[in-house]
Amino acid sequence: MVSALPSHNVPTHQRLTRRSALLGTLGLLALPASHLAAAATPATSQPSAVWPHASQVPGGIARLSLGPAAARPLAHAGEVPLLVVGDVLEWTALVGIPLAAAPGEASITVQTEDGGQRQIAYTVAPRRYREQRLKVAPRTVDLSPEDEARHERERAHQAAVMTAFSQPWPQDLRMRAPVPGRRSSSFGLRRVFNGQARNPHSGMDIAAATGTPVLAPLPGRVIDTGDYFFNGNTVWLDHGGGLLTLYCHLSAIDVKTGDLLKTGERLGAVGATGRATGPHLHWGVMLNRAMVDPALFLAD
């Protein structure tokens, strides 16, 4: 995948020269020690190793350079705050692009150090995802009035969960797969259940036997658990900066809201609860309230 950041196209020694020049112009000696540490360690400024891949399509991620600044800039897509990573020499906004986004021009707003605002434009390229036709229990497609009311309550509850935007900011953004197994390329599929068009598939399905442990792909805090009509037994993790992950159809939930998990800690087990055609993990990754392709975050 092609990086959106022009600085990746220049050789490392030129980047370092540019960094040294910027260190001078920024007057880094006046900055707190934590900033100096971040700026002085070249390893932390090799973004490809720790950031998700860029893919400027619906369901993808835009990596937009915000340039140098003494403090991490605030950036928004509409009203939604964005994940900003990097250091004093170059900050970068990682922007989740919703599956429903229209191809064409889009922009974010960045607060400037003098209290003003500037716009940064980017282009969303079109991407046509394949269609997938599935047969499931009729009651999970044509909902009874009771199920419809339940789903509406759960939808509103989960919409509130999705607004989480916490700190600390995530450090390493590359994730390990939450379960081993065959990862389908099912993200974004336009889904037709029992002949009826429904929302596109907004996560990655990983085939695994019921009971297979599901492990946190990054450090995170449990911000919601529940048994939901479509998603079945579900866990939401908050990794900071508006980066959330979602685990559905679990046979067991082993954590509770407020728990802090390290990378690789168990949160539950694979199952087939909710609307599922068989045991698998449905894994979702959300950035600035947009479900994006989890494959962009996988380390391998």
User: Could you tell me the smallest distance in angstroms from the CB atom of residue 249 to Zn ion?
Assistant: 8
Compute the distance between CA of residue 214 and CA of residue 217 in angstroms, rounded to an integer: 9
| Closer residue to Zn ion (CB): 56 or 202 | 202
x/- track of binding to Zn ion for residues 111-150 (CB under 5 A): ----------------------------------------
**DSSP 8-state secondary structure symbol assigned to residue 279:** S
Nearer to Zn ion by C-beta: 47 or 284? Answer: 284
> Shortest gap between Cβ of 179 and Zn ion (angstroms)?
13
Residues 6+ apart with CB under 8 A from 149: none
Give the nearer residue to Zn ion in terms of CB position, either 86 or 274: 274
Neighbouring C-alpha atoms within 13 Å toward the C-beta of 75: 29
Beta carbon nearer to Zn ion, 35 or 282? 282
C-alpha span between 176 and 174 (Å, rounded):
7
- Per CB under 5 A, the segment of 69-77, 86-94, 211-219, 282-290 that binds Zn ion is 282-290
Give the closest residue to 83 by CA, choosing from 299, 92, 291. Answer: 92
- Residues numbered 191 to 220 that lie near Zn ion (CB under 5 A) are 205
Find the shortest distance in angstroms from Cβ 200 to Zn ion.
11
In the numeric block, the tokens 């001078």 are attached to 24
Q: What token pair was written down for 209?
A: 């036997």
Give the pair of three-digit tokens for residue 250: 């679990």
Residues 296, 53: Cα–Cα separation, whole Å: 5
Provide, rounded to whole angstroms, the least separation between the CB of residue 15 and Zn ion. Answer: 40
CA–CA gap between residue 239 and residue 222 (Å, rounded): 9
Residue 226, phi then psi, degrees to nearest 5 = 180, 175
Q: How many residues bind Zn ion (CB under 5 A)?
A: 2
CB of 163 to Zn ion, least distance (A): 22
**Residue with smaller CB distance to Zn ion, 205 or 238:** 205
- Is 183 near Zn ion (CB under 5 A)? no
Query: What tokens does 261 get?
Result: 């998990």
282 binds Zn ion (CB under 5 A): yes
Q: Minimum CB separation from Zn ion for residue 170, in Å? A: 24
Tell me whether residue 63 or residue 282 sits nearer to Zn ion (CB atom). Answer: 282
For binding to Zn ion (CB under 5 A), which residues are involved?
205, 282
